[in-house]
Amino acid sequence: MVCVDKYMHKTYYVLIGLMVFLLPQAFILPVECSYENHLLENLEVFVLGIGFINMLYKTANLNKDKINKFYLACGIFYIVMIARELSYGRVFYPIGIDKNGEQIFMNIHQIWYGPIVYPIIAVLVLIALFLMIQTYKYIKKEQIICSIPRYSIRLFIIMMILSQIVFEKNLIKFLADYGQLLEECTEILAYCSLVCFTYDISFKKK
């Protein structure tokens, strides 16, 4: 059984503090900080890395093997997201700089391992989904309640919408000059929310 946890976890207050600190930085930092393989992009990888390490910790310290599959699946999703933020390794193959001073990287299909990237990602996602389904079947059979923290998942969804739709497409015209920085800052907040979400999610007997 899956239910929504209305409890205000301490991590939510951390997220509010991060939001108050980080969003104004979009109006202060130079636009170069939002470029690929620069400060904000690397910070996103760092945040996702924390999420991955946390999933490894939970997997290693939880006694229930069936529940461990959920955290293992989350860890796989974190790996996929880290790979995506690193452009699947493209950031390690710069080939020049454009007129704006942003690095240009090789096309993924030009890199030696390029042809196998998407098949590997597909396999990882399928494995993670299989583990999630196995966990769901187990908690349903054993009458275990999965409590999903409401506030962190809401903030994750809101920040992803702002990042990937509103600011990426410059839908707010008067903020267009800060769009790229706002996109990266809200994406960092989205990832922080996701880390808090996977940290606070809990399982208990009905």
- Say yes or no to pLDDT of 31 above 80: yes
Give the integer Cα–Cα distance in Å for 64 and 203.
10
Instruction: Specify the DSSP class assigned to residue 191.
Output: H
CB atoms within 10 A of CB 85: 22
| Domain ranges for the chain | 2-205
Least confident of 65-69, 111-115, 126-130, 156-160: 65-69
pLDDT digits (tens, 9 = 90+) for 43-62: 999 999 999 999 999 888 87
The pLDDT, as a whole number, for residue 63 is 67
The pLDDT, as a whole number, for residue 62 is 75
pLDDT digits (tens, 9 = 90+) for 150-190: 899 999 999 999 999 998 888 888 888 899 999 999 999 99
- Say yes or no to pLDDT of 130 above 90: yes
- Burial class of residue 158 in the structure, from the number of CB atoms within 10 Å of its CB (0-12 exposed, 13-18 middle, 19+ buried): middle
